[in-house]
Chain A
Amino acid sequence: MTSHRDHAGRPIVVVTGMGVVTSLGVGIADNWRRLAAGESGIHAITRFATEGLKTRIAGTIDFVQIEQLSSPELSERLAEMVAEAAIAQAAIGTRGDFPGPLFLAVPPIELEWPQRRMLAEAAGANGTITNQDLLRGADTGRFDSFYRRFTFASVADGLTERFGTKGSPISLSTACASGASAIQLGIEAIRRGEAEATLCIGTDGSVNPESLVRFSLLSALSTANDPPQAAAKPFSKNRDGFVMAEGAAALVLESLEHAVARGAKPLGVIEGCGEMADSFHRTRSSPDGKPIIGCIGNAIADAGLTPDDIDYINPHGTGTPENDKMEGLAAAAVFGERAKRLPMSSNKSMIGHTLSAAGAVEAVFTLLTLEHQTLPPTINYQIPDPALQLDVVPNVARAARVRHALSNSFGFGGQNVSLVVAREPM
């Protein structure tokens, strides 16, 4: 009988169900097929007018119909879709009765412009609109549905009710690392013996004019609008920013013991997780790369491995000049000479940056990489950056032997999380 404990005597945590939606489509099969084919989901924005904006492209999800579109509404809908799929694949619990807690990475929520305009109209103000007008509008009693929808806890509340997860659901944000943080919290709960199974979701449906402008004003976005599919070019010399995108992924995590006992098939193992925050700057990494080097090192050590054991990296790989430079530097520091040969391909070249969802979406894609023993490519890699001596799996997928893979997520605000994933328990 194989052991159900890891190198540190903790319960081994496996994945028994996955769901994903990105601009490439719905579900594991479609996403993997298009990812392996090197296809892009980035397109011109049609959801709102882009006149006057520097960036007019994104990986929005336009094939999901929402009546009253808002970021929390779409984020919740996407989370429902992926959770439904993950729970079905795991075949765990009974319908509406998931036997564990929910950890949800979700974008911060606030009132949006259409709703703000309705408040102003409700106040019936003539001329210049003031805060007092808005308050009067809000106090008319006609906006309880807005209050509910734009309450931070409402997305998790809806999911808890639908899937019957146990206990208080945790909504979290570590910016672009949020999805990985949700998985990390799930792993820790299982390791503590608090839960046998957890539902970990990252979701983001927050592309709207103001969110786009905010990133644009930080000079974080690619402005290579034409053609949209070529805009995201991680690790290229001419990379000029990330492309905002929407998506969601859910993972059912379970102790190996629990999965085996109920006859569930593990899809992969989350061997380790690590984090380390950066104290250097609100949007820039510490120039010596110490926090991300430490974060990667912590994850590998937590898995009981050494850097030599890692066969593939699913990098944060946003395509901003700064991120990719720092990530190349960190790879060289952690993996030494091997960094030049160690494949490291960015999903974001195809699906854009799914922000709060990215860590979860990319964990799912890393698990699929292990399952298929195929490395998805970094597309749009036409002009190599001589400063980054990396094997980015340029433009075309390829077969490879992958036993242990690393998935990195680094957030604005200095919050870094890395996961180590394997196909089989050691």
Chain B
Amino acid sequence: MADAAADAAREVWITGVGVVSTLGEGVQAHWQGLNAPPRAADPATWAPFIIHPLAALDLDKQIPKKGDQRQMEAWQRIGTYAAGLALDSAGAKGNAELLARMDMIVAAGGGERDAAVDTTILSGLRTSERPEAFLNERLMNDLRPTLFLAQLSNLLAGNISIVHGVTGSSRTFMGQESAGVDAVRIAHARLQAGQSEIALVGGAYNADQIAALLHFAMGRCLWKGELRPVWDRAGAGGMALGSLGAFLVLEESRHAAARGAKPLARLSTVVSSHVKRRAGAVTAALAQMWSTIAPRRAAHGLAVISGATGVEPATSEERAFLSAQGGIAMRATGSHLGHALEAQFPMNIALAAIALEQGRLFHSFDRSGLEHAMDEPLRQVAVTSIGHWRGEGLALLEALDERMIHDVPSRSRR
């Protein structure tokens, strides 16, 4: 594999997207969903907190073996399903030769637990004379052996290998929003440098589980009360978690052209940052990252798809920064989908690619007055990530003309 100094002719195209969320599954459901008022969230199951539940999926369509479905917890099923959609979309599903050399980077959390076992043990521990021995005994007897495999972060990738046959390589990044940003960044950098030719990258999140809610409740970063757009959550703000899965097939342009794959968009730039969140830090990080896409910015047709979480003051800093960039239309998908940590950035890249393929930005139903309409054709989308605590990232996607797609010289194999 030649990782020689980046070959200027190498471009990275998005040739497949797979998305599932509260809006349903697939490109059409998301395009229609984003062009309609946000669906009702679920304020009851985890009150006082709100989640955006996943739409019902017919799992058999992407995970045909019931045995495989049983071996996974919800986040793994969501991700394996979305990965299957992405492979379908890229025309790669079932192509054993291609899948055997397809690289994979998954952005994952993990740690889904058996809540019934946990609460039963906690109840018992209160009255136990010998709590340590009691804990050992209950864990040995009550934990399902296979639950461990449903908890391990790297086992979403493992399940994608097993169910879909992606085996070129398999890496799992952890670390909330930053994992999603860096998964896309590293996959992109490897493609650009000739270390990879095709890669599956994405993540999944299940908001409908106690471990997720507990964690962010401890950090007091969850929104309570009537749901508002992410731009418009006063005070300390807060997240409404969302269940979703998003995978992308990224491909070196000549590789894609040679196999006749139809790209949705070009992924031109992916950068990440890491700052301690003091006042102004988010603004500074955004300014630094924005400067990397500025040289490519076209005169017309740029929009922003934001991963704003609703957590303050980060969201306000992002809002102010983007508002100062010359009236760019922006959309925060969190108002529709909720926030899904590791999976949010891959999802927003997928949604940007879908919009570029449609040639226009989706409508806004934002009541904050920030998201204005965009009438001109969509040519570029900047996707932001300002994670709830860490995880700053920015990507630039660009529309591909028919001409550009056909002019790519077929790949010369070295």
Contact = CB atoms under 8 A, between A and B. Distances in A.
B136 A174 contact: no
Nearest to A156: B175
Contact of B174 (A108, A277, A282): A108
A405 to B, nearest CB: 22
A214 B113 CA distance: 12
Interface stretch (B143-151, B227-235, B254-262): B143-151
Contact of B2 (A9, A144, A174, A283): A9
Given A52-B136, A135-B214, A171-B174, A152 B148 contact: no
A153 to B, nearest CB: 4
B152 interface: yes
Contact of B110 (A108, A113, A279): A108
A129 B169 contact: no
Contact of A108 (B152, B165, B214, B389): B152
Contacts of A409: none
A346 to B, nearest CB: 22
Interface stretch (A188-196, A320-328, A388-396): A188-196
B143 A153 contact: no
A414 interface: yes
Interface residues of A, number: 84
Contacts of A281: 162
A214 to B, nearest CB: 4
Contacts of B56: none
B140 A53 contact: yes
A415 B154 contact: yes
Contacts of A213: 136, 139-140, 143
Nearest to B150: A282
A175 B158 CA distance: 10
A127 B158 CA distance: 40
A168 B272 contact: yes
B386 interface: no
Contacts of B181: 168
B391 A153 contact: yes
A216 to B, nearest CB: 7
Contact of B115 (A131, A138, A169, A216): A131
Interface in A112-160: 113, 116-117, 119-120, 127-131, 134-135, 138-139, 141, 143-144, 146-148, 150-153, 156-157, 160
A192 to B, nearest CB: 4
Contacts of A278: 161, 167
Contacts of B218: 119, 138, 143-144, 146-147
16 contacts: A8-B1, A50-B136, A111-B211, A135-B210, A175-B152, A192-B195, A193-B193, A194-B189, A214-B148, A217-B144, A277-B166, A279-B167, A282-B158, A282-B159, A413-B161, A415-B158
Interface of A: 8-10, 48-54, 106, 108-111, 113, 116-117, 119-120, 127-131, 134-135, 138-139, 141, 143-144, 146-148, 150-153, 156-157, 160-161, 167-175, 178, 181, 185, 188, 191-194, 209-210, 213-218, 275-283, 291, 302, 411-415
Counting from the closest, the 7 A-B pairs by CB-CB distance are A413-B158, A147-B219, A153-B175, A110-B111, A49-B132, A138-B217, A277-B170
Interface of B: 1-6, 46, 48-49, 71, 104, 108-111, 113, 115, 118-119, 122-123, 125-126, 130, 132-133, 135-137, 139-140, 143-145, 147-149, 151-155, 157-159, 161-162, 165-176, 178-179, 181-182, 185-186, 189-190, 193, 195, 210-211, 213-221, 272-274, 276, 389-393
Given A108-B152, A141-B220, 16 more contacts: A8-B1, A51-B136, A111-B215, A119-B218, A129-B122, A139-B217, A157-B274, A157-B390, A173-B174, A174-B170, A174-B171, A178-B154, A213-B136, A213-B139, A277-B166, A278-B161
